[in-house]
Amino acid sequence: MKKVFSIIFVLFFTANLSFAATDSATGEVRKGYLGTLPDITQRFDKQRSEMARPAFENVPTFRDKNVLKPVPRDNPNYVDLMIKKQKLSPYTTDINDAIPMLEAIVEAIKFNLNIQKFVARVNAFNDWMTYFKQRYKDQPEAYYISFQKLVEVDFQSHYVATVKYESQRYNPYLPYSGEGAMYSPASIAKQEQALLKELEKTITILKEVK
């Protein structure tokens, strides 16, 4: 009996506490839970703090300098595009055009290309030199070492090309003695090697022109 009475008492107390109460001042019946709720503010503040953290902080290599791209000023391609380089002078531009022509003649000598290819490359250079000398003959550039060396190899290459061509064309009729000695294979080979040395010296000088 005591057990039943205890159960009834607990139910009555809980029902009054949870569902209804009368306001002593107004007499209004209020419904709902009237107990004390736990303070969960700190728990939610902690969750909001964790959610606000940048997700990439959890990536181990995010700040690894070895996987980061260089900044623009460290990137040569970017610098070349953004920085205006000093404009080349017309003379330097012409010198740059001469270099590959001289290198082509060097190649013809070193690899013993046939007479037609050798003569064609020399003629292309000689024709270009006609323009070059005409353009700078009355200019200060005519006194530059680079200009003088180009004039020298222009004459020398033309001479060697002429001798090689004539030796092939008139070979059956030329004795290799007296005046004909210059057309002998040994003489032509010697002249080619001398031209080769001058060409290489001239190319080195031209590449230093700025």
Residues 27 and 104 grouped into a single domain: no
Residues 180 and 96 grouped into a single domain: yes
Last residue of a domain, one of 21, 51, 82: 82
Q: Which residue has the higher pLDDT, 197 or 50?
A: 197
Q: How confident is the model at residue 53 (pLDDT cuts 50, 70, 90)?
A: low
Q: Which helix (H) or strand (E) is 30 found in, with range?
A: strand 29-31
- The Cα–Cα gap between 122 and 160 comes to 9
Residues 14 and 49 grouped into a single domain: no
Residues 110 and 194 grouped into a single domain: yes
Q: Stretch 14-25: mean pLDDT, rounded?
A: 51
Residues 108 and 184 grouped into a single domain: yes
What pLDDT is recorded for position 138? 92
Q: How confident is the model at residue 94 (pLDDT cuts 50, 70, 90)?
A: very high
Parent domain of 12: 2-31
For residues 140 and 149, the answer to whether their CB atoms sit within 8 Å is no
Looking at the domain assignment, is residue 166 inside a domain?
Answer: yes
Looking at the domain assignment, is residue 36 inside a domain?
Answer: no
Residues 113 and 146 grouped into a single domain: yes
Looking at the domain assignment, is residue 45 inside a domain?
Answer: yes
**Is 178 a residue whose pLDDT tops 90?**
no
Lowest mean pLDDT among 13-22, 79-88, 133-142: 13-22
For residues 150 and 129, the answer to whether their CB atoms sit within 8 Å is yes
Q: How confident is the model at residue 157 (pLDDT cuts 50, 70, 90)?
A: very high
Q: Stretch 45-70: mean pLDDT, rounded?
A: 52
Residues 105 and 27 grouped into a single domain: no
Q: What is the dihedral of CA 29, 35, 36, 37, to 10 degrees?
A: -90
**Is 161 a residue whose pLDDT tops 70?**
yes
Condensed to tens digits (0 to 9), the pLDDT of residues 123-145 reads: 999 999 999 999 999 999 999 99
Looking at the domain assignment, is residue 109 inside a domain?
Answer: yes
The one-letter amino acid code at 209 reads V
CB neighbours of residue 114 within 10 Å: 10
Specify the number of domains making up the chain.
Answer: 3
Residues 135 and 179 grouped into a single domain: yes
Enter the DSSP assignment of 210.
-
- Tell me which residue of 166, 157, 147 sits closest to 104, measured CA to CA: 157
Looking at the domain assignment, is residue 157 inside a domain?
Answer: yes
Q: What is the CA radius of gyration of the chain?
A: 49
**Is 82 a residue whose pLDDT tops 70?**
no
**Is 112 a residue whose pLDDT tops 60?**
yes
What are the CA-CA distances from residue 171 to residues 119, 174, 183 (Å)? 17, 5, 8
Q: Which helix (H) or strand (E) is 20 found in, with range?
A: strand 20-22
Task: State pTM to two decimals.
Answer: 0.59
What pLDDT is recorded for position 17? 45
Residues 22 and 97 grouped into a single domain: no
Phi then psi dihedrals of residue 131, to 5 deg: -65, -45
- The Cα–Cα gap between 200 and 210 comes to 18
Residues 22 and 61 grouped into a single domain: no
Residues 136 and 163 grouped into a single domain: yes
Q: Stretch 153-161: mean pLDDT, rounded?
A: 97
Residue position matching structure tokens 């909001």: 48
What pLDDT is recorded for position 179? 66
